[in-house]
Amino acid sequence: MIIQDLLLKEDTIVAISTALKNAPIGIIRISGNKSFDIISQIFKPKNKKKINFNKGYRIYYGYIINDNNEIIDEVLVSIFRKPYSYTGEDMVEISAHGNIIILNKIVELIKSKGARLAKGGEFTLRAVLNQKMDLTQAFAIKDIIEANTEKQLEIAFKNLNGKLSNKINEIKEKLIYWIPWIEALVDFPEEDIPPIDYNLFINDLISIKQSIIRMLQNYEKLKIYKEGIDTVIIGKPNVGKSTFFNYLYGQERVITSDIPGTTRDIISEYINFNGFLLKIYDTAGFRKTQDKIEEIGIQKALQIIKNAKLVFFLTEINSIDLNDKELLSNLNENQYLIIIINKIDKIESKDLNKAIENNTSLIKEILYNLNIKNYKIIFASIKENINLDQINKAITEFFETNENLEDNFYITDIFQKELLQEVLNYLDKAIFEYQNNNPVELILVNLRLALEKILNLLGTDITELVINNMLNRFCIGK
């Protein structure tokens, strides 16, 4: 408990809790036993009345002053008495003007009065240590801050409200039910202890395993929303790739031109496209060239194509040729392909249906010969915004699941994933020991280890591993 005592009882901590850049408002947090003493030394209420520290949830208007009685800033000070605060400790929040110079001055002043700068995530860690929340809820706060899509936010808020922790606690309670019973049989063999129904016991372990496997599977699905889909735009020069990139991005991001070879390098951007986070690469046009710089761009693009999960392939209607076939040959069967046959606005309306039929037949023949099966074909005009709504529909059909979030439990961090994998491993070992008629002590050892990891996951058993993961993964001030 040395780490806990150091972080929880001895130090008062301070940090800027808002973004470290100029803004209309900036918030500074202080937490710990010296919080009220420090604020009483540096804050002068406008109405000259003293702060009543016996009552929490009070806001005072006044000035932060330095040791020379000079005003640093005009502020609002919020008082939170333990245990009714975010951290469970005495807390102060200072709402100041958001100039980073002012905020840093206030932090330095607070440090001079006995506080230290908080580590990343230390406020939330103290909330966990003081049982204001469990560790799954703490990670949910991080997820809310870092969310890039509505789906991430939806899952994070459900976890903050206890959806995941309720499921983990359910697993914990099942283990706690069986472990003491088995311990009693091992430690007191002469006592009149009822025998265990091992069929029920094994069924419980299998049920726990199934829940964990589902959570691990959901973690992999969630990566699509959290880390983004590696996406690449490919095609011959001048088929509309950069215009299409700008359409996805929602504003002018790259130069577009009618001159082949305008895009010389790889341009990448995270784009929230209708709820899907795309890490998208716009590549150089593929063609035979003597331009060494352009050739380097093409070679870089070929490397990216091999690693992409989603590929947008652009070509022009009535212009599909051997160069397109050669470019498509770089794809593999595990990728998802959206083919956009562009510039249909250039075709006379009376000839369009025939052109679509011929181009569809040609592209399908190429894909069949290349054994590419996961594809959608869209005939569009990017410039005229024709049929572009079909793009979102295609992405949804590839990546969206029909599962109801209400019926699922989502872990969101690699730390949680690794702990659950360890739990799964120990449960497998316990079942193995039982099935091989090995001593019950071996079953018990693995159940205890599984429970230890579950307690780590909840933050009930705070270890150095848990603390390091929080301090390394959260931003300062949170």
Express each pLDDT in 117-148 by its tens digit. Answer: 998 889 998 998 888 999 999 899 988 888 87
What one-character-per-residue DSSP string does 221-235 give?
A: HHHHHHT-EEEEEEE
Q: What is the pLDDT of residue 396?
A: 87
| 2-134 matches 140-223+413-458 in fold | no
Taking residues 58-84, what's their average pLDDT? Answer: 95
Percent of the chain with pLDDT over 90: 49
What's the pLDDT band for 265 if we cut at 50, 70, 90?
Answer: very low
Instruction: Report the alpha-carbon distance of residue 425 to residue 446 in Å, rounded.
Output: 9
Q: What is the pLDDT of residue 283?
A: 60
Asked which of 211-220, 288-297, 437-446 is least confident by mean pLDDT, the reply is 288-297
pLDDT digits 0-9 by tens, 340-367: 999 999 999 899 999 999 999 999 999 9
Measure Cα distances from 440 to 177, 184, 431, 432 in Å. 16, 11, 11, 11
Token look-up 């595990």 returns: 334
* Cis peptide leading into residue 24 (ω within 30°): no
pLDDT of residue 400 exceeding 70: yes
Q: Which CATH architecture has domain 228-399?
A: 3-Layer(aba) Sandwich (3.40)
Q: What is the pLDDT of residue 311?
A: 93
pLDDT of residue 48 exceeding 90: no
Ramachandran quadrant class, 59 (left: phi over 0; alpha: psi -120 to 50; beta: rest): beta
Cα 188 to chain centroid distance, Å, stands at 48
What's the pLDDT band for 66 if we cut at 50, 70, 90?
Answer: very high
CB atoms within 10 A of CB 325: 16
Q: What is the pLDDT of residue 317?
A: 92
Q: What is the pLDDT of residue 378?
A: 95
Taking residues 448-455, what's their average pLDDT? Answer: 94
Which of 31, 101, 114 has the alpha carbon at shortest distance from 72? 101
pLDDT of residue 372 exceeding 80: yes
Task: Report the mean per-residue pLDDT for the chain.
Answer: 85
pLDDT of residue 263 exceeding 60: no
Contact 225, 151 (CB under 8 A): yes
What's the pLDDT band for 163 if we cut at 50, 70, 90?
Answer: very high
What's the pLDDT band for 165 if we cut at 50, 70, 90?
Answer: very high
Domain map of the chain by residue range? 2-134, 140-223+413-458, 228-399
What one-character-per-residue DSSP string does 239-294 give?
A: SSHHHHHHHHHTS--S---SSTT---S-EEEEEEETTEEEEEEE-PPP-----HHH
Instruction: Report the alpha-carbon distance of residue 336 to residue 87 in Å, rounded.
Output: 46
The top-level CATH class assigned to 140-223+413-458 is: mainly alpha
Q: What is the pLDDT of residue 147?
A: 83
The top-level CATH class assigned to 2-134 is: alpha beta
Taking residues 409-414, what's their average pLDDT? Answer: 89
Highest mean pLDDT among 4-13, 95-104, 182-191, 344-353: 95-104
